Structure 1
C-alpha cells in the first residue's frame, strides 16, 4: 500500500477531497452510475439532502467536470445530469469505498 509521504502528494489528496469529499458528492455520483437523472429525481433519491445543498454539490461536480448538466428548452426548464467520462472513472473507486463501508461500518463501538 502506498503512503502519502510528501507535501506534493498531500496537496493532491486535498484537491481530490475538494472534488468528491463533500457530504453528498459520492452519493450523487453513485446514483448517476445508473444513468441520467433530472434534478427532482436526484433530490428524491439522495436521502436527507435539501435543495440548496444539492444545487451546491451539483455545481461543484460540474465545475470539475465530473458531471454534465444539460438544459432543455421547456417550460419550466428541464435539467438533466449525467456523469462525464471523468466521472465514470470514479465507479470502481466509489464501489470499493462502498464495499469497505459495508464490510467495516458496524465493527466500531456505538454502532
Structure 2
C-alpha cells in the first residue's frame, strides 16, 4: 500500500513565473556548467525559465512548466533527497501535476 504527498517549492515565486516577460536569470560559469551537465542545454533551460507560457494545460491557472508543487508517491526511496533538495535540484525530481514522482504517471493511474 502507498500514499501520496503534495510537495510545495518554498522558493517558488508566483509573480516571477506568472510574468511572460520575465528576465533571464544571471548565471555564473559554475551554474551554467551544472545546467549543461543536466537534462537540458543552456538554451533549452533558458527558454523554460524565461517563457511565461510553456504551452501546458493550466494547473491552478499556471501554464508554465513549473506549477510550484507536485505529487510524490510514498514511500519513495529518495523522498529525503527530494525534500532536502536545493532550489536548483527541483527540476531533477519535479513531475508536473497531475504526474506523480517517481512513476511519471497521472495520479489517477498511479498505484
Compute the TM-score of the two structures, normalised by the length of structure 1. 0.24
Higher helix share: 1
